[in-house]
Amino acid sequence: MAETIPSFIKVRNGRVITPFRVIPNGCVIIKDRTIIEVSEGDPETPGAVTIDAGGKYISPGFIDIHVHGGGGADFMDNTVEAFLTVAETHARFGTTALFPTTLTGSTEDIVKTLETYNEAYPKNNSGAQFMGMHLEGPYLAMSQRGAQDPRYIRDPDPKEYEYILSKSGSIKRWSAAPELKGAIPFARYVKSKGILVALAHTDAIYEEVIEAYENGYTLATHLYSAMSGVTRRNARRYAGVVESAFLIDEMDVEIIADGVHLPAPLLQLICKIKGCDKIALITDAIRAAAMPPGESVIGNIHTGIKVIVEDGVSKLPDRSSFAGSVATADRLVRTMTQMAGISLPDAVRMITHTPATIMDIADRKGSLAAGKDADIIIFDENITVHATMVHGKIIYQNDSRL
Ligand SMILES: [Zn+2]
């Protein structure tokens, strides 16, 4: 890896996933950190540094819009080192852009994490790019808390959220339960700041979800996990958030495609109903991602909740609930192709172009096309990542011949 970034680069001899098609023998040409050409064959590029993909796949970098940690660090640790560790860890598995995600916490904890984001941002030279913060909670339904710490779960309070928003310009997404008292004015306010509002950890029924949708909640956070399905009240059946997300065509959904949270038939059902343009694959990874199994902590290393990692997933110690995942992005693509039988371009699209569109960064990210940032990865048949390039700079490679 060169210390200075060459300004003119050709990545050649690969199967280019744009992700709208696969170019069997293609190349991507980069100038000044930006893609200038995607084409078939191997055009002459005098003066360019050449990277030979050796017949492997050349793909847009993965975009993870919901991730808490990895490599032994959690964003809620509130240190610059933790932020950089998570970014570098996920870059090894193909993530080139991510949205650091918080858990429920005190106002001070949340504001501190936002401040740490600002400190870490300019120091992140060798990890997945930070694209802005995702606040998950603290305005969640107690009955659907999952692994969120119940001590900090509360209803939206304008004094609090206006204060939090006044402290940071980096919040890009906020996940909340729409049925809570004050959750509709909350969404209107947050949306007015240009922030995506998502439905999360919620027991809402359809009537509440449609009102929520009309007021800014346009994405369902980890579909099926910590949310209502069909319920019965006094013998009557009610559609829950899952059915509502299916019924409202415009609603985007994200799924933890680690192969554990959702079995193959549900992954297939979601793809069948929503289509790959409305689905983002997410890791929802905690600090235990890319670490050996055993005990871990979700959230802040000192004050977080103890969890146990076994069978490729994180669980509460009584094993009553999953507690985030230990997935990395490569595993999500592997799950969708190998377990759910989804085509590779569609699987890649769900973790590149679709999340970029949902987060409104598709003008720069999420596809290989002229004018886009040179966020490019090289992986093999088994979705093992061999090289990761962020903005034209190789930040990870496992093959010295590249
Ligand atoms: Zn989460």
Q: What is the rounded average pLDDT for all residues in the chain?
A: 96
pLDDT at 274: 98
Distance CA(190)–CA(20), nearest Å, equals 33
Which two structure tokens, joined as six digits, stand for 12? 């050649």
Give how far the C-alpha of residue 181 lies from the chain's centroid of Cα atoms, to the nearest Å. Answer: 28
What are the tens digits of pLDDT across the range 370-398? 999 999 999 999 999 999 999 999 999 98
Q: Which of 63, 53, 69 is nearest to 128 (CA)?
A: 63
Helix (H) or strand (E) holding 211: helix 206-214
Question: Which residues are in the CB-under-5-Å shell of ion ligand 1?
Answer: 136, 284
What are the tens digits of pLDDT across the range 204-260? 999 999 999 999 999 999 999 999 999 999 999 999 999 999 999 999 999 999 999
What are the tens digits of pLDDT across the range 278-319? 999 999 999 999 999 999 999 999 999 999 999 999 999 999
Q: Which of 349, 91, 65, 352 is nearest to 195 (CA)?
A: 65
Distance CA(116)–CA(109), nearest Å, equals 10
pLDDT band of residue 269 (cuts 50, 70, 90) is: very high
Distance 381 CA to ligand 1 centre (A): 29
Distance 337 CA to ligand 1 centre (A): 23
Q: Which 8-state DSSP code applies to residue 317?
A: T
Residue with tokens 């300004």: 7
Distance 302 CA to ligand 1 centre (A): 19
Distance CA(240)–CA(223), nearest Å, equals 11
pLDDT at 320: 87
pTM of the predicted protein model: 0.97
Distance 342 CA to ligand 1 centre (A): 24
- pLDDT of 400 above 80: no
Distance 134 CA to ligand 1 centre (A): 9
pLDDT at 321: 87
Which two structure tokens, joined as six digits, stand for 261? 């949270």
pLDDT band of residue 2 (cuts 50, 70, 90) is: very low
pLDDT band of residue 1 (cuts 50, 70, 90) is: very low
pLDDT band of residue 359 (cuts 50, 70, 90) is: very high
Q: Which 8-state DSSP code applies to residue 89?
A: H
Distance CA(111)–CA(117), nearest Å, equals 10
Distance 41 CA to ligand 1 centre (A): 42
Phi/psi at 321 (nearest 5 deg)? -155, 150
What are the tens digits of pLDDT across the range 237-251? 999 999 999 999 999
Distance 132 CA to ligand 1 centre (A): 15
Distance CA(350)–CA(343), nearest Å, equals 11
Which two structure tokens, joined as six digits, stand for 182? 């004050």
Residue with tokens 């796949």: 57
For 112, half-sphere exposure in the C-beta direction (CA atoms, 13 angstrom radius) is: 14
For range 106-120, the mean pLDDT: 97
Distance 225 CA to ligand 1 centre (A): 10
Distance 68 CA to ligand 1 centre (A): 6
State the amino acid at position 398 in one-letter form: N
Phi/psi at 400 (nearest 5 deg)? -70, -15
Distance 102 CA to ligand 1 centre (A): 8
Cis? peptide before 138, omega within 30° of 0? yes
pLDDT at 246: 98
pLDDT: which is higher, 146 or 214? 214
- pLDDT of 196 above 80: yes
Question: What separation in angstroms does the CA of 80 have from each of 113, 174, 363?
Answer: 10, 22, 29
Distance 292 CA to ligand 1 centre (A): 20
Which two structure tokens, joined as six digits, stand for 285? 């990874």
Distance 284 CA to ligand 1 centre (A): 5
Residue with tokens 């640790």: 77
Distance 40 CA to ligand 1 centre (A): 40
pLDDT band of residue 147 (cuts 50, 70, 90) is: confident
